[in-house]
Amino acid sequence: MTYSAVVGTRCYRFADLKEVLAKAGPARSGDALAGLIAESAGERMAARLVLADLPLRRFLDEALIPYETDEVTRLIVDGHDAVAFALLASLTVGEFREWLLAETTDEVQLAAVAPGITPEMAAAVSKLMRNQDLIAVARKCRVVTAFRDTIGLPGRLAVRLQPNHPTDDASGIAASMLDGLMYGVGDAVIGINPASDSMAALMKLWRMLDDLIGRFAIPTQSCVLTHVSSQIRAIEMGAPVDLVFQSVAGTEAANTGFGIDLAMLREAREAALSLKRGTVGDNVMYFETGQGSALSADAHHGVDQQTCEARAYAVARHFKPLLVNTVVGFIGPEYLYDGKQIIRAGLEDHFCGKLLGLPMGCDICYTNHAEADQDDMDNLLVLLGTAGVNFIMGVPGADDIMLNYQSTSFHDQLFVRQVLGLQRAPEFEAWLQAMGLTDQGGRLLPARSDHRLLSDLTRGIS
Amino acid sequence: MSTSIKPDPWQHLAALTAARIALGRSGSSLPTRAVLDFDIAHALARDAVHQPLDVGDLTARCREQFALDVIVVHSQAGDRLIYLQRPDLGRRLDQAGVAELDKRSGPVDLAIVIADGLSATAVQAHALSLVQALLPLLDDLQVAPLVIAEQGRVALGDEIGVLLKASLVLVVLGERPGLSSPDSLGAYLTFAPQLGRLDAERNCVSNIRDDGLSPVVAARKLAWLVRAALACRLTGVGLKDESGEAPPLMAVVSRLPGANE
């Protein structure tokens, strides 16, 4: 069916729902690249007017990507909880925004309706929301997950320790891990992006992480971010795998480009669960996503990149992950051109993920060919910290020497804890205190050159 | 060092990695020198992306050093801003480029393309050393005129390869600059180039720079790959690097598809 609205003296028409969604979104380079973007500011507002009056139910009646040919659509449709949706069933998208913002809508209600919200509904309402709306509503959502510690509790922020090295050199990785632990980083996960895909090299990394976590009884989990099929094989070979990682996208075709499907993710989750390595919970999956991944695989079906991204969260939601990380500025300026677009996308992704009930974190990041710098990252860090993001990245000096991009640093997480009063995961916070690294208020103590962690790790390296 | 700085007593570990560790802190923040060091690295990386390739100088040096004709072409991306936002245009030749290459007679075994990619700094620093080390290893092959391409991406080589009737095309271009590696060169080899080739159909040797894979070692790997590709009549995931040169062939680094292309 077609849609239309008048803005100023002009009437704008839209062929279908996906055109309305694409043109209602704020301008960004990826949608321009795909040829989906509104041609004028007036047309963008017309699309928003259409969206505001659209009943939420319409998204249940009109699939953006056909049910018959896309298993992500099937997952969304077949998994929709009509009972949870009942409370929202009479609302338009514009009214949904107002309901989300109302004082009377709280954490309990948001959690109750989450299974009734489809990714398309979340994307639609986000297009009518200003940045402050995205922050205000996300802050009300609470998503708590656990493995060896508990992530997402109120007033807390976890950090992934990311000690990457361009040749997977064990000493280099250990040096970065030590730096991070001494700065109180690592409660979300200690996760390495390996340069190599050789199984022998990967097995060394899993054993190294397992050894470190075991030796110091660190209440955290490890992850080696290689392809999910390699992780399944590693589990079969006896690797000590805590979390299984995979990049996921919002269309079946884009997931095919990643070399995965839902069945493979199911198999991986079952394999990880069978190891029973969690102590306080069994959320065993770690997913990464990012706007633009479907378009870059030429697998977006004419759907805008933010809606595709929200559909990736439907994939993630199905597998009860510990962590979902939108790697917001990694993909490059052809998808998110500058700091303004990256900041907006980071807030949208966090909001949509939380609304759908996901433990959202964000790799607040940019590449050197984007029009962005560390000031933009500071801005997004404070905004997402305020919005209650579950976790961020911790990269030494914000400079990832293996993936060649800039993220947030060990110092950055100290800063945001200080200005917003955010604590670490409780089990990890207690461990840091017991290790004599922080005081009772969670503040770093002056580093001692004879600290056990330092002397032990240095001995292991040399 | 000022008294406001709390130093990290593990500076001895900094020798083990190029990562920015043991920086110390003032309050929660970085010491001033560490902030400046970071911003200098970012400035150099930004300049690598935005400063134009000195085509005149590169052409003159190529003509002087190699017994090959040199052709300069341009992609359909008119300038850097378009190039950064429209990767599709960086993968296609403009009309003048098509006309120029169409005049050449083939077929040849190998076409070599030097493109600016995302770092003119890398191309100016290492591209000629790489080609100079490579050509003597392939002196029995028919090599097309050397093509220098402005605002070019990897897949621009496909169209160039078709027009030059080349069995193989090698695209040497500046990689996305990292903060610690603004001058890293990548080399992509594609058998039977044609429009629409997938990245999985190419072999890549990356991180070519002084602190990474040296141009001489990279040239040996590439020569091995060129001969293997001609013998097996393919490139890509089906062609594994068994040249035995350490360090191992690095995969194209990408957490998400398209990140490096």
- How confident is the model over A313-369, as pLDDT tens digits? 999 999 999 999 999 999 999 999 999 999 999 999 999 999 999 999 999 999 999
User: Are B48 and A368 inside 8 Å of each other by CB?
Assistant: yes
Q: Above 90 in pLDDT, residue B117?
A: yes
Chain B residue numbers with beta carbons less than 8 Å from the beta carbon of A173 are 17
User: Are A367 and B6 inside 8 Å of each other by CB?
Assistant: no
Chain B residue numbers with beta carbons less than 8 Å from the beta carbon of A195 are 250-251, 253
Q: How many CB atoms lie within 10 A of CB A151?
A: 28
CA distance B103 to chain A (A): 32
Cβ burial, residue A104 (10 Å; 0-12/13-18/19+) = exposed
b/e code A171-181 from CB counts within 10 Å (16+ = b) = bbbbbbbbbbb
Domain ranges within chain B, ordered by starting residue: 5-50, 55-254
Cα torsion for A314, A189, A257, B83, to the nearest 10°? 100
Q: Above 60 in pLDDT, residue A57?
A: yes
The residues, ordered by sequence, that sit 6+ positions from A396 with a Cβ below 8 Å of its Cβ are: A163, A176, A179, A180, A409, A410, B19, B20, B21
What ipTM score was computed for the predicted complex, to two decimals? 0.95
Query: Which letter does DSSP use for residue A87 in this model?
Result: G
CA distance A261 to chain B (A): 16
Is A257 an 8 Å CB contact of chain B?
yes
Nearest residue to A38 (alpha-carbon basis) of A228, A371, B147, A49: A49
CA A389/CA A26 separation, integer angstroms? 22
Q: How far is CA B130 from the centre of its chain?
A: 11
- Find the mean pLDDT for residues A278-298: 96
CA A178/CA A284 separation, integer angstroms? 24
- The 3-state secondary structure of A401-451, one letter per residue: CCCCEECCEHHHHHHHHHHHCCECCHHHHHHHHHCCCECCCCCECCCCCCC
| Predicted local distance difference test score (pLDDT) of residue B249 | 37
Strand partners, A395: A409
Residues 435-454 on A with a CB inside 8 Å of B are 446-449, 454
Chain B residue numbers with beta carbons less than 8 Å from the beta carbon of A337 are 84-85
CA B34/CA B37 separation, integer angstroms? 5
Mean pLDDT of chain B: 90
Q: Above 60 in pLDDT, residue A110?
A: yes
Cα torsion for B224, B225, B226, B228, to the nearest 10°? 90
What string of DSSP letters covers B108-144?
EEEEEEEEEET-HHHIIIIIHHHHHHHGGGGTTS-BP
| Predicted local distance difference test score (pLDDT) of residue A150 | 98
CA distance A399 to chain B (A): 7
Question: Which of B4, B20, B81 is best to mutate for the A interface (most A CBs within 10 A)?
Answer: B20
CA distance B98 to chain A (A): 24
pLDDT band at B253 (very low <50, low <70, confident <90, very high): very low
User: Are B207 and A418 inside 8 Å of each other by CB?
Assistant: no
User: What would the pLDDT profile of A394-439 be if each residue is shown by its tens digit?
Assistant: 999 999 999 999 999 999 999 999 999 999 999 999 999 999 999 9
Helix, strand, coil content of chain A in percent (nearest 5) = 50, 15, 40
Measured CA angle at A171 (ends A170, A174), to 5 deg: 85
Measured CA angle at A398 (ends A394, A404), to 5 deg: 110
**In the block, residue with structure tokens 């609470």:** A142
Kindly state the tokens that stand for A243: 């979390």
Is B240 an 8 Å CB contact of chain A?
no
- To the nearest 10 degrees (0 to 180), the angle between helices A305-318 and A17-24 is 110
Chain A residue numbers with beta carbons less than 8 Å from the beta carbon of B82 are none
| Predicted local distance difference test score (pLDDT) of residue B211 | 84
Weakest mean pLDDT among A39-48, A98-107, B210-219: B210-219
Q: Tell me which residue in A33, A257, A367 faces B86 most closely, judged by beta carbons.
A: A33
Q: CA separation (Å) from A185 to A175, A397, B119?
A: 14, 13, 33
**In the block, residue with structure tokens 């490096």:** B260
| Predicted local distance difference test score (pLDDT) of residue B246 | 42
Q: Above 60 in pLDDT, residue B254?
A: no
Measured CA angle at B96 (ends B92, B99), to 5 deg: 95
The residues, ordered by sequence, that sit 6+ positions from B226 with a Cβ below 8 Å of its Cβ are: B110, B138, B141, B168, B170, B189
Chain A with chain B: Cβ pairs closer than 8 A = 183
Is the omega angle on the peptide bond into residue A321 within 30 degrees of 0, that is, cis?
no
Residue B101 near residue B74, CB atoms below 8 Å? no
CA A215/CA A240 separation, integer angstroms? 14
| Predicted local distance difference test score (pLDDT) of residue A195 | 87
Strand partners, A324: A287, A360
Residues 21-40 on B with a CB inside 8 Å of A are 21-23, 25, 27-30, 34, 38-39
Q: Percent of chain A at pLDDT above 70?
A: 100
| Predicted local distance difference test score (pLDDT) of residue B243 | 65
The runs of H, that is alpha helices, within chain B are: 32-50, 55-65, 80-85, 87-90, 95-102, 120-122, 128-134, 156-163, 215-232
User: Are A292 and B86 inside 8 Å of each other by CB?
Assistant: no
Q: Above 50 in pLDDT, residue B258?
A: no
CA A155/CA A166 separation, integer angstroms? 35
Is A368 an 8 Å CB contact of chain B?
yes
User: What would the pLDDT profile of B57-76 be if each residue is shown by its tens digit?
Assistant: 999 999 999 988 999 999 99
User: What would the pLDDT profile of B186-241 be if each residue is shown by its tens digit?
Assistant: 999 999 999 989 888 899 998 899 888 999 999 999 999 999 999 999 998 778 66
Residues 263-302 on A with a CB inside 8 Å of B are 288, 290, 292-293, 296-297
Residues 73-132 on A with a CB inside 8 Å of B are none
Nearest residue to A151 (alpha-carbon basis) of A345, A320, A372: A320
Q: CA separation (Å) from B103 to A3, B63, B75, B164, B168?
A: 52, 20, 18, 9, 19
User: Are B176 and A332 inside 8 Å of each other by CB?
Assistant: yes
Q: Beta strand pairing status for A391-394 and A158-161?
A: parallel
CA distance A52 to chain B (A): 30
Nearest residue to A444 (alpha-carbon basis) of A411, A419, A420: A411
User: What would the pLDDT profile of A364-375 be if each residue is shown by its tens digit?
Assistant: 999 999 999 999
User: What would the pLDDT profile of B146-197 be if each residue is shown by its tens digit?
Assistant: 999 999 999 999 999 999 999 999 999 999 999 988 899 999 999 999 998 9
Question: Which of B3, B12, B16 is best to mutate for the A interface (most A CBs within 10 A)?
Answer: B16
User: Are B257 and A258 inside 8 Å of each other by CB?
Assistant: yes
| Predicted local distance difference test score (pLDDT) of residue A457 | 82
Chain A residue numbers with beta carbons less than 8 Å from the beta carbon of B17 are 165, 169, 171-173, 175-176, 401
Q: Above 70 in pLDDT, residue A7?
A: yes
User: Are A369 and B176 inside 8 Å of each other by CB?
Assistant: yes
Element (H, E) at A160: strand A158-161
Chain A residue numbers with beta carbons less than 8 Å from the beta carbon of B29 are 411, 414-415
Q: Above 80 in pLDDT, residue A208?
A: yes
- Find the mean pLDDT for residues A143-162: 98
Q: Above 50 in pLDDT, residue B252?
A: no
Residue B153 near residue A344, CB atoms below 8 Å? no
Residue A410 near residue A180, CB atoms below 8 Å? yes
User: Are B84 and A179 inside 8 Å of each other by CB?
Assistant: no
Chain B residue numbers with beta carbons less than 8 Å from the beta carbon of A167 are 247
Mean pLDDT of chain A: 96
User: What φ, ψ does residue B207 adopt, rounded to 5°?
Assistant: 60, 35
The residues, ordered by sequence, that sit 6+ positions from B254 with a Cβ below 8 Å of its Cβ are: B260
User: Are A331 and B258 inside 8 Å of each other by CB?
Assistant: yes
Measured CA angle at A72 (ends A70, A75), to 5 deg: 115
CATH second-level architecture of B55-254? 3-Layer(aba) Sandwich (3.40)
